[in-house]
Structure 1
Amino acid sequence: MAERTLRGARLGGQSFEDERGIEFAARQQSAYACTNGHEFEVTMALEADVPAIWECPKCGAEARSTQGIEPELKAEKPARTHWDMLLERRSIPELEEILTERLELLRGGEIGPAHLHRPRKKKANA
């Protein structure tokens, strides 16, 4: 079993290849400025789409491109509430009918908390 163990470089890797003869991709510098006044540049491939917003490496705040690139405005969906989802499944008349049925069951003592449905004392006839 010991003969089969892998031997070599440590994990995380250290490349033993040198950079001679390697042609790097064309690059561009993209400048950004954050809300706290930090300015920095990011190196990207020439073909890359330059994002309008980048996280500041110093403070983590949102930094905007100084090259005039504006972020795309996305249409925001309104938050769907429980009521909205309920109305997708039932109409108002259906909901009113269900409410009426449930209230009758509750008042009749068939559903609901036990403490609301104590046996009623019968009046004794004199």
Structure 2
Amino acid sequence: MADRTLRGAGLGSQSFEDERGIEFAARQQVGYRCPAQHEFEITMSVEAEIPATWECPRCGAEGLSISGIKPEEKAEKPARTHWDMLLERRSEKELEDILKERLDLLRGGEIGPAHLHKANRKRRTAKA
């Protein structure tokens, strides 16, 4: 008999409890406006910390609080370039010395692309 009384009722999807005697938490409505000028309200607890932004339910853009709460400014670090990282390891004088040494090796044909060395060899043999 108990099986017949629950037949057709989606178990877990519907509560048969009565709401009498239940005290709900204090709530507040918080308004937001997105860049597409959609205005919407979100119900939150009075005790909740109100966020400055909320995703718009219509377009998905980030809506700003109408009540004037400003988002926190994030401190952005300046981008570290390859040159900045290089200067952390070596001084400019050391880098100039290394550059001069490498250019001398390149001009002497000891390093660099093979097609440049062939031309240098021909010039050296023609001068000699």
Q: 1:116 to 1:28 in 2, by over 3 A?
A: same
Per the normalisation by structure 2, the TM-score is 0.72
CA deviations on 1:45-86 (whole Å, 9 max, x unpaired) are 333221111121211222110112111122221111111111
Deviates more, 1:42-51 or 1:78-87: 42-51
Matches within 5 A, 1:77-92: 77-92=77-92
Q: Which residue in 1 is equivalent to 2:98?
A: 98
Per the normalisation by structure 1, the TM-score is 0.73
Root-mean-square deviation over aligned CA pairs: 2.6
CA distance in 2, matches of 1:30, 1:112: 67
The structural deviation recorded for 1:97 is 0.9
Q: 1:124 to 1:74 in 2, by over 3 A?
A: closer
Query: Which 5+ residue runs of structure 2 have no aligned equivalent?
Result: 1-10
Q: Which residue in 2 is equivalent to 1:44?
A: 44
% of aligned pairs identical? Answer: 64
CA distance in 2, matches of 1:17, 1:90: 70
CA distance in 1, matches of 2:33, 2:59: 12
Matches within 5 A, 1:7-86: 15=12, 18=15, 20=17, 25-86=25-86
Q: 1:97 to 1:15 in 2, by over 3 A?
A: farther
Q: 1:120 to 1:69 in 2, by over 3 A?
A: same
Structure of higher CA gyration radius: 2
Equivalent pairs counted in the alignment come to 112
Q: 1:99 to 1:24 in 2, by over 3 A?
A: farther
Read off the aligned partner of 1:18 and give its amino acid letter: S
The structural deviation recorded for 1:26 is 4.1
Q: Which residue in 2 is equivalent to 1:114?
A: 114
Q: 1:67 to 1:120 in 2, by over 3 A?
A: same
**Larger helix proportion of the pair:** 2
SS in 2 for 1:123: helix
Deviates more, 1:14-23 or 1:116-125: 14-23
